[in-house]
A and B are shown apart, each in its own frame.
Chain A
Amino acid sequence: MNTAAKQHRFSTYHTHLVPPSVLVSVFLLLILLTIATVAATWIDLGQYNIWIAMIIAVAKAALVALYFMHLRYDSPFNALILVIALLFTTMFIAITLKDTVINTRNLQPPPSAASNTG
């Protein structure tokens, strides 16, 4: 009865309590992933190393956003804002990168480096 009353009291404030067990297990998972990402650099996987590092980093970021920032329990609108921001950042980086890769080799050397450096 008492707990039910409490539950009701909190629900009027749109609160979702993240239980400590979830917080701690997310934290332990984050530490584990940190160790994993450091350990991954000991193994040479060529170009896949960067992908592994980034996948682990994104997984960690997702854990922080979903549980510590309680996005999972929030209105989806908040998540939408985050996803859109990330989407635009990704577009920004991807287009710039593509442009750099394509155009760098077409760039002409400076007409006279000697006059620039005096």
Chain B
Amino acid sequence: MWIFLATEILMFGGLFCAYAVYRAAHPDVFLYAHHFLDQNLGALNTIVLLTSSLTMAWGVRSAQIGKRKLLVIMLMLTLLGGLGFMAVKTVEYKDKWQYKWLGFHNMFYPGNESLRDEYFKKHDHDSGHGDIDLNHDVWHHDEMMDEPDTTSSSDIEQEVAVSHTLQTPPHSGPPGLSESYLHPGDRTDSDPHDTQITFNNLSPTDQYRVHLFFQIYFLMTGLHGLHVLVGMALIFYLLVRAVRGHFSPAYYTPVDLIGLYWHLVDLIWILLFPLLYLIH
């Protein structure tokens, strides 16, 4: 069982790696985009999952000492915890589904500016779309060389000078990128800690990358949610067997192993929660 859990860790490890690379490269994007996640719902879900872990561990204990009734109650509570988790997750996903953030219609994709404007208007968010000239498109050549956090303003000027020489004619790239990067004065050298970061004071290349956060978010929480669903199915199976009285102090291995799986799912959420919801 532990070897299976190790492969699970390695599978999520790939996603954590993707997360780490993108966050290291574009810290402002993550800082900005995480405001779209509800911290309270995330914390609530952490507590729900921790509680279900407690009841699961207690369930294993009751199986070990042969308390069938207690085992059934604990398994039911654990199942309820999983259900609660998925319910909160559904609320979170539904909010994003409404604005078609799943699939190809993420409002932060280039080409979906109308969706974004609609969203910002509705939520009275800091769109500042007055500043974004949608008709004037600029494609960035310096994407890869862009270093959002550490560049001093003179570096930016140099960078901009370089990008001027590399620049292709307008109207050739994906729409929606602001022109403001051409004027270094307009670009807020974003120190995320003294100002609330807004869509507009992200550098245009970062504006173009906001969707990456949501792709990582949906992939990580989606895979985790899938694990919760599998775990719930397994716990239901345990529940049926427990009601039939299959488990005893001599035979409780399935309870123990599925318990381990459930705790691992909890453990992964413990890591996901600060990484996705509590970016500072």
Chain A residues in contact with chain B, CB under 8 A? Answer: 9-10, 13, 15, 17-18, 20, 23-24, 26-27, 30-31, 34, 37-38, 40-41, 44, 46, 49-50, 53-54, 56-57, 60-61, 64-65, 67-70, 77-78, 81-82, 84-86, 88-89, 92-93, 96-97, 100-101, 104-105, 107-110, 112-114, 117
Could you list 15 further interchain pairs (A-B, Cβ under 8 angstroms) beyond the known A49-B280, A60-B270? A9-B249, A10-B249, A18-B61, A30-B50, A40-B278, A53-B280, A64-B270, A65-B267, A68-B266, A70-B57, A78-B2, A85-B5, A88-B10, A101-B24, A117-B172
A75 to B39 alpha-carbon distance, docked (Å): 38
A110 to B174 alpha-carbon distance, docked (Å): 15
CB distance from B16 to the nearest CB of A (A): 6
Which residues of chain A are within 8 angstroms of B14 by Cβ–Cβ distance?
Answer: 92
B47 touches A (CB below 8 Å): yes
CB distance from A75 to the nearest CB of B (A): 10
Of A27, A40, A61, A109, which is within 8 A of B166 by CB?
A109
Q: How large is the interface on B (under 10, 10 to 19, 20 to 34, 35 or more residues)?
A: 35 or more
Q: Most chain-B Cβ atoms within 10 A of its Cβ — which of A49, A68, A70?
A: A68
Q: Which residue of A lies closest to B65 (CB)?
A: A17
User: Is B61 a contact partner of A82 (Cβ separation < 8 A)?
Assistant: no
A71 to B84 alpha-carbon distance, docked (Å): 27
A31 to B273 alpha-carbon distance, docked (Å): 13
Q: Most chain-A Cβ atoms within 10 A of its Cβ — which of B57, B61, B145, B263?
A: B57
Q: Most chain-A Cβ atoms within 10 A of its Cβ — which of B65, B174, B267?
A: B267
User: Is B278 a contact partner of A53 (Cβ separation < 8 A)?
Assistant: yes
Which residues of chain A are within 8 angstroms of B168 by Cβ–Cβ distance?
Answer: 112-114
Main secondary structure of the interface of A (DSSP, over half): helix
A92 to B143 alpha-carbon distance, docked (Å): 25
A and B contact pairs by CB, cutoff 8 A, 26 listed:
A9-B249, A10-B64, A17-B64, A23-B54, A26-B54, A27-B54, A31-B50, A37-B273, A40-B278, A50-B279, A57-B273, A57-B274, A57-B275, A60-B270, A61-B271, A68-B54, A81-B5, A82-B6, A85-B10, A96-B20, A97-B21, A100-B21, A114-B168, A114-B169, A114-B172, A117-B172
User: Is A93 a contact partner of B16 (Cβ separation < 8 A)?
Assistant: yes
A17 to B65 alpha-carbon distance, docked (Å): 8
B46 touches A (CB below 8 Å): yes
Q: Mark B140-181, 1 if CB is under 8 A from A, else 0.
A: 111111010000000000000000001011001110000000
A69 to B259 alpha-carbon distance, docked (Å): 8
Which 7 interchain pairs have the tightest Cβ spacing? Answer: A89-B13, A85-B6, A53-B274, A49-B280, A114-B172, A107-B144, A109-B141
A60 to B53 alpha-carbon distance, docked (Å): 12
User: Is B193 a contact partner of A44 (Cβ separation < 8 A)?
Assistant: yes
CB distance from A23 to the nearest CB of B (A): 5
Which residues of chain A are within 8 angstroms of B54 by Cβ–Cβ distance?
Answer: 23-24, 26-27, 68
CB distance from B40 to the nearest CB of A (A): 9
User: Is A68 a contact partner of B61 (Cβ separation < 8 A)?
Assistant: no
User: Is B5 a contact partner of A82 (Cβ separation < 8 A)?
Assistant: yes
A37 to B61 alpha-carbon distance, docked (Å): 29
Contact of A46 with B193 at beta-carbon distance under 8 Å, contacts A41-B278, A81-B6 already known: yes
CB distance from A19 to the nearest CB of B (A): 8
CB distance from A51 to the nearest CB of B (A): 11
User: Is B271 a contact partner of A109 (Cβ separation < 8 A)?
Assistant: no
A19 to B46 alpha-carbon distance, docked (Å): 23
Q: Which residue of B lies closest to A67 (CB)?
A: B57
User: Is A18 a contact partner of B2 (Cβ separation < 8 A)?
Assistant: no
